[in-house]
Structures are given as structure tokens and as C-alpha cells.
Amino acid sequence: MQIQVINPNTSANMTAKIGRAAQAIARPGTTILASNPEAGPVSIESHYDEAVAAVGVIEEMRKGVDAGCAAHVIACFGDPGLLAAREMAKGPVLGIAEAGFHLASLLATRFAVVTTLTRTRIIAEHLLQRYGFAELCTSVRCIDLPVLALEAADDSLIELIAAEGRRARDEEGAGAIVLGCGGMADLREALSEAIGIPVIEGVSAAVKLAESLVDLGLGTSKHGDLAYPIAKPFSGRFAHLGR
């Protein structure tokens, strides 16, 4: 099967890293189509960034659907444009935050999130509430580094993230850690060893869930609000998004 993995920001380096991590975790026979929008924010660190990036997600989704991808992954922890993307596709569409929360809840009774900038903590907390995981999450912890700083991963970055994970483990009783950024896609193994409890990284979680859903013959419901978008023309610079 072919799984589309969309990096909603425009960093080609991050897209390549996410694509490599997704392909490494995929089973034999699964190919990863990793892409990013041509236009939009270079990183996503605010509600504003997410709103702009969502248009790029939709444009990339159209390409993936036309290419016949069996499933789609939105590789940004804010899950920008997720429900709109699900309207477009019959196959499963997964956001990495939602996928990460689900897997963490299967491995521990309580988990913590470690993400990037402090200002994004509220965005993660809103997602936890929306998806029904707020009561299972002990905290959302931040390392106060911008997303693009993750492109140069080294031992100091690993330790910065691991230190927050260990505090959540020791001070709050968190039994698992969810990594709160697609740019952390290649850090799961190192952080699992450094923290000593299960570490869930959303890109790999979403890819494996996508494979399972396709194997089960399950796709996005086309009944109700996730039915295909109503056909109508769009005007101006969004004319190409009309149906």
C-alpha cells in the first residue's frame, strides 16, 4: 500500500526526515509518499500558522487522493486541517497528535506530552480535550526551542527532551511520553532509552495505525459531516480548490 505523509510546513529538510522515519517503521510492501506544501509557514507554532498551513494540507491531500494513496497522515502535532482532509478521502486520514494519544492510552494509564515552545502548550491541551484524553495526560511539557531547531538533533537536544520526560515520570507518575512535534520523528528510540518508559512518536504511530485500518478494510465514514465536500465553485485565489 502507499501512505501519504504530509508535512504541513514548507521545510523540505523536515519533510525528508519525517519521510525517512515513516518509511523505516512501515512494513515491507508499504511505500511512503512524503510531501509538503509549496507555500505556507516554514514552521507551525501558533493558531495563525495552523490556519494558513491548513490550506496547504488540503492541496497536498488532493494530490494524494489523485495518486490513489490508501491512507494519509498529517505530520504536525496540531493536526491542522484534519477534519477537512477526512472529508476529501475515503481512506483513513490520521493526525499525529490523535494517533499518539491513542497509542499512549493503550500502554499506560497516564501519559505526558513533551513539545517545543511554551506558547504551543495550550494548543496541545485543546487537542487533548477535543479528543477526550485530557484526564489521562499529567502535563504538557515544553523545551522552549523552535520547531526548526529540531532539524539539528544532537545529544544536547536528546537530553533536553529526556529531562522533561523523566520529570513527568518521577514527579507526576506518567507511564508514557508522547512527543509533541513531527520534527521529533527520528528521536523515538534514543528517547525511549534515555527516559526508560514507552515513548510514542506520532508519525510512526499514525503510519502503523493507518496500515492496520487499511488491512481491516476500514476507511473514513462518508456519512454525515465527513461526507465528501459539497460541490461548489470557489472564487479568487482559491478557485483551484473548488469541486
* Averaged pLDDT score across all residues of the chain: 97
DSSP character string of 122-185: HHHHHHHHHHT-GGGEEEEEE----GGGGGS--HHHHHHHHHHHHHHHHHH---EEEE--GGGT
Kindly tell me if the per-residue pLDDT of 213 is higher than 90.
yes
The sign one gets for the Cα dihedral 153, 154, 159, 162 is positive
Q: pLDDT by residue (tens digit) across 126-155?
A: 999 999 999 999 999 999 999 999 987 788
Give the percent of the chain with pLDDT over 70.
100
Alpha-carbon torsion 68, 71, 76, 80, what sign? Answer: positive
One CATH from 3.30.360.10, 3.40.50.12500, 3.40.640.10, 3.30.565.10 for 2-95+204-241: 3.40.50.12500
Query: What residue type is 180 in one-letter code?
Result: G
d(CA 68, CA 47): 31
Residue 151 has what pLDDT? 83
Mean pLDDT for the stretch of residues 5-34: 97
Angle at 108 between CA 102 and CA 113, to 5 degrees: 65
What's 150's DSSP letter? G
Model confidence band, residue 2 (pLDDT cutoffs 50, 70, 90): very high
**Does pLDDT of 243 surpass 90?**
no
Average pLDDT estimate for 172-184: 97
Domain ranges of the chain: 2-95+204-241, 97-203
Evaluate whether 2-95+204-241 and 97-203 have a shared fold: yes
pLDDT of residue 152: 78
CATH number of 97-203: 3.40.50.12500
Confidence (pLDDT) at 98: 98
